[in-house]
Amino acid sequence: MQTVVVVIHLMVVLAMIGVVLLQRSEGGGLGIGGGGGFMSSRGTANVLTRATAILAGAFFVTSLALSILAGLAHRPTSIIGREAPSTPSAPNVPAPISEGGGVLDVLRKAGEKAQTPAAPSSAPAAPAAPGAPAGPQVPQSQ
């Protein structure tokens, strides 16, 4: 259906271009026109004006029909419920993550592993005395 409307739309566009180019230029926009041709009477100007109006209306109707058909064919999709493909489609594409997460989940897990201590100590560190520096002592030379 959409292909038929596109073909009709293109025919209307080509006909409208032809009808507009056949009309006599009254303002001399590009410095051409104004001379007599095979369509020089006033009656043909009315026919060309009406044909332009009809083709313009058909252009708007087909444009609206195409936009409505495109809206009907649009189905909202969600990437949340999709499963990762089991095999990569291209040879240089990395395999999907088997843990069921994306890149952000892998980075978050790596950050959590980096924040956890390697070997927890049995006794907590004693807090520094008030007034004592918290860092290592550096001897001062005089």
Higher pLDDT, 14 or 113: 14
Q: How many CA atoms lie within 13 A of 100 on its CB side?
A: 1
Q: What stretch of H or E contains 45?
A: helix 42-73
pLDDT in tens, 82-137: 666 665 555 666 655 555 567 777 788 888 877 776 655 555 566 666 665 555 66
> Domain coordinates of the chain in residue numbers?
2-22+41-73
Q: What's the token pair of residue 103?
A: 């890149």
pLDDT in tens, 28-80: 544 455 555 555 555 667 888 899 999 999 999 999 999 999 888 777 777 77
Angle at alpha carbon of residue 22, lines to 63 and 24, rounded to 5°: 115
